[in-house]
Structure 1
């Protein structure tokens, strides 16, 4: 939505919106009671996962990198001690490298 142009959606006045909400409240509470009475078996929609999705999930689980907990705790300790130093040059180099890689992928 652009600020300089009027909105395409109609806006209800606050008094009008309050009366609409009051009118729809009994119907909404009745619908909620019916949904609650159905129980958990009928409340949702059945979903099936394809074999392709299952294989993608399984492949992704195998690609997870192992975490070096000793390094994690050392970094946590350095941060809490106030001795952790950020190397801005390395971060900038990696950021530029990643951006360049993404741009090359989008051109292909």
Structure 2
């Protein structure tokens, strides 16, 4: 399979001997679909009580700039250590309390 920027969008021909016609193909939309989510009033109250969100725009901008400048490096060892730690915590028996 070739991976590239061109796509064959023609519908496939029905199989030989098939009595069903090929299904119509919906046209591609020029605008991408947008996902939305609604937060319940209780969920919004929890976010406010927690002091907003964990989102730090300055940090996102700094990482984005580092990536674009080729300075961003991934510490695979630290990621692996944290994954193992999280998995261990999830798989360990919980104490009754």
Please report the TM-score for the alignment, with normalisation by the length of structure 2: 0.46
* Structure richer in helix, relative to its length: 1
